[in-house]
Structure 1
């Protein structure tokens, strides 16, 4: 898995945890940390999570062999 894929999945997981907190406890962790849902930084986080979710859709359609044996880029 590439670094971009790992980052996207990490942000998707953060978004899923935040939605779970909203659903179960009516608590928006991102808004609490970054100053409300309408603050600029919170909106950036929401946007990044959304873009990551869309990017992660590409992982859904990759053959599993490609995901498991993809060569890591050289640094």
Structure 2
């Protein structure tokens, strides 16, 4: 269950990265809705930082849980 939750968090973070860099919402584009978002520069920076954090967290999907506890 933890890996599924982490994968969803990463997908969400990558979506915010796309919003921050390109003002394009992948989830809305795939599921229907307005895929273009107009945002202020500060919010785009925050979205991009969240997305970069998601990229960083990808490595945690591949860590053995038993190894992480020791």
- TM-score where L is the length of structure 2: 0.49
Query: Larger Rg: 1 or 2?
Result: 1
- TM-score where L is the length of structure 1: 0.46
